[in-house]
Amino acid sequence: MKVILQTMTNEMTHVFLLSLGAFLLAMFLTPIYTFFAYRYRFWKRQRSESTDGKKLEVFTKLHAAKFRRNIPTMAGIIGVVSATLVTALFNLDRAQTWLPLAALLGGGVVGLIDDIINIRGAGGGVAGLRSPVKFTLITLIGVVLGWFFYVKLGFDSFHMPFVGDVHIGWLIVPLFAFVVVATGNAVNISDGLDGLAGGLLSVSFTTFGFIALLQQQIILATFCFTVVGVLLAYLWFNIYPARFFMGDVGSFAYGVSLGVVAMLTNSLLLLPVIGFLFVLEAGSSAIQILSKKIFGHKVFLSAPIHHHLEASGWPETKVTMRFWVIACVMAFIGFLIALAGGHIA
């Protein structure tokens, strides 16, 4: 018993120290980023058009004051660099961290390109890379990582709670790619209010971190809590009123990596539960787009749903705090399903 307790203590100490180290490194790098962000004007450019080319009147009205403040974007690069350095130096493992780290970097590169186009004002009304280009690049990343997941790591199934593993062979590759694209896009859509995406991501990575711990995937769990560390450093400056935004470099990096972590913990079907609000955000945007194209009118005052609640009269801080509470509740439910549904041997 003493040996087991000592082992657990050592593992938890390792997890805590790397998470703390990532937090402190991100805090150290923040003033450096801030200096360059203000010197070279990394101002986030507001979208003026929706996907159908129409003017975003409600959205523009809601956030006019915020964008007059010239708030820098692309701050997600701080977390990506910090998490990458900590993982590469102290927590690198072929089976457990190669994939999520590659996802973090791959998603970050796509997001960085998008942010640079946004800052330079070269993307037209959509203020960044066109959606088909982003989807294609993220899909390519998903396929490559899915191939490694199937061929090199030997995964060919996903776990269905209370039922067991469902073996699908090579179809795990397109499924993996779909999860990566869907999660990356959902997190990107959710990054619309001060503190919102950072808080939701912190809850999700924390939950998957505990699942990985109970599965004895200590290195993967450490990666999850390393990401939590950099997210907390980001939230220190991003809670209302935000000093900067993570940008697509952050939302795509963390979103794609979150999808990979869900696959590595064999918790694919828990992802929509633990990340319920990401599903709600992406779903509300999809409903809005389809309704406008098919029926010619909007379902929501503004999409995604956090903007609808703002337009309905909710203060930005109220929306964020309520979403954080919902995220914690759904994460707890997802964790209970993991315990009871056979995800933890």
DSSP string, 271-292: HHHHTHHHHHHHHHHHHHHHHH
Q: Is residue 294 part of a domain?
A: yes
Q: Is 49 helix (H, G, I), strand (E, B) or coil?
A: strand
- Rounded Cα gap, residues 326 and 233, in angstroms: 22
Q: Is residue 253 part of a domain?
A: yes
What was the pLDDT predicted at 325?
Answer: 98
Q: Is residue 24 part of a domain?
A: no
For residue 173, what are the domain limits? 53-158+166-340
Q: Is residue 176 part of a domain?
A: yes
Neighbouring residues of 60: CB distance < 8 A, sequence distance ≥ 6:
46, 48
Q: Is residue 3 part of a domain?
A: no
Q: Is residue 30 part of a domain?
A: no
- Rounded Cα gap, residues 20 and 230, in angstroms: 9
pTM of the model as a whole: 0.94
For 306-333, the DSSP string reads HHHHHHTT--HHHHHHHHHHHHHHHHHH
Which pLDDT tens digits describe the chain residue by residue (345 residues)?
677 777 788 889 999 999 999 999 999 999 999 999 999 888 877 665 555 556 566 666 666 666 666 889 999 999 999 999 999 999 999 999 999 999 999 999 999 999 999 888 755 555 678 888 999 999 999 999 999 999 999 999 999 999 999 999 999 999 999 999 999 999 999 998 999 999 999 999 999 999 999 999 999 999 999 999 999 999 999 999 999 999 999 999 999 999 999 999 999 999 999 999 999 999 999 999 999 999 888 999 988 999 999 999 999 999 999 999 999 999 999 999 999 999 987
What was the pLDDT predicted at 286?
Answer: 94
Neighbouring residues of 172: CB distance < 8 A, sequence distance ≥ 6:
146, 149, 150, 155, 156, 157, 158
Q: Is residue 1 part of a domain?
A: no
- 159 beta partners: 165
- Rounded Cα gap, residues 223 and 228, in angstroms: 9
| Residues 171, 263, 181, 98, Cα dihedral to 10° | -110
The count of domains in the chain is: 1
Q: Is residue 273 part of a domain?
A: yes
What was the pLDDT predicted at 2?
Answer: 73
- 166 beta partners: 158
The tokens describing 221, both together, are 């769990």
What was the pLDDT predicted at 136?
Answer: 95
- Rounded Cα gap, residues 118 and 2, in angstroms: 56
